[in-house]
Amino acid sequence: MLDLNGERERFVGQSSTSIFPGATGATSVLRVGESIGSFYGYVFQGIWQTPEEITASGITTLVRPGDPRYADLNGDNRIDGNDRTIIGQAQPKFIYGVTNNFTLGPVSLSLFIQGVEGSDILNLNRYELESGFVAPNKLKTVVDRWTGPGTSNTIPKANSVVRRNTGITSDVVEDGSFVRLKTATISFQVPVPQGMSNTVKSASIYVTGQNLITITDYSGFDPEVNSFGNSGLSLNTDYNAFPTTRTFIAGVRIGF
């Protein structure tokens, strides 16, 4: 971002209003000198474990054991909008693709591999699927939620509303890098009977598979996601997005 017509920054990005009651829905910041797609929010530092830990921290914002802990970046002993910072980048470091074609006698194999490296994904699904305050089914990770001092430093207690009432936080910004076998086609050249060679010049059968294998650390269904694809300012945001479909196609090619 080179210029904002005199502004230093502007908060942008879409989210579901059902996720953040009482908190801003903006997910990103446009800031001169930073990339479009800069996720903006609070830095997650674990889970508050005991009342003594809360007291010793000096924090004055109302929190209880089992609530998520966020960084007090400006040192005023409060967690508010002034403690937000850039917590991820939707823009990848690079995108790549490789195509390979192999032929052995009548058999041919074509592979297309694509990948993305260095991008982040905002997994909004986790606000609902790891929370005890909304009705949908839950992720299995809630089994390992905080239930007492020392039990978890990653998943809040079931009845904590702090994460949803705070806004975008770094614990739901995940590595979106992936490598995917996008397309694979295997074909077999069928010998043309001598009596048909004047009419049929070639014949082959083939099978094509798409989106066959994906290697990624992203916890959601699909790292190639954007729930708000109609907006160029809400990149790599996953909220109830349907994953890329795996498909298979079989066919016959005949050349005359």
Q: Could you report the per-residue pLDDT of 210-248, keeping only the tens digit for each?
A: 999 999 999 999 999 988 877 788 899 999 888 899 999
Q: In this predicted structure, what is the pLDDT of residue 134?
A: 67
* pLDDT bracket for residue 132 (50, 70, 90): confident
Q: Kindly tell me if the per-residue pLDDT of 200 is higher than 60.
A: yes
Overall average pLDDT of the 70-74 stretch: 96
Q: In this predicted structure, what is the pLDDT of residue 34?
A: 92
Q: In this predicted structure, what is the pLDDT of residue 15?
A: 81
Q: Kindly tell me if the per-residue pLDDT of 24 is higher than 60.
A: no
The amino acid that residue 224 corresponds to is E
The amino acid that residue 246 corresponds to is R
The amino acid that residue 174 corresponds to is E
Q: Which of 55, 80, 76 is nearest to 65 (CA)?
A: 55
Domain-wise residue ranges, the chain: 9-255
Q: In this predicted structure, what is the pLDDT of residue 169?
A: 93
Q: Kindly tell me if the per-residue pLDDT of 41 is higher than 90.
A: yes
Q: In this predicted structure, what is the pLDDT of residue 195?
A: 67
What residue has token string 């954007």? Answer: 226
Q: Could you tell me if 226 and 236 are in contact, meaning their C-beta atoms sit under 8 angstroms apart?
A: yes
Beta bridge partner(s), residue 230: none
What does the angle CA 14 – CA 85 – CA 168 come to, to the nearest 5 degrees? 40
Query: Two tokens at 135?
Result: 């009705």
Q: In this predicted structure, what is the pLDDT of residue 19?
A: 77
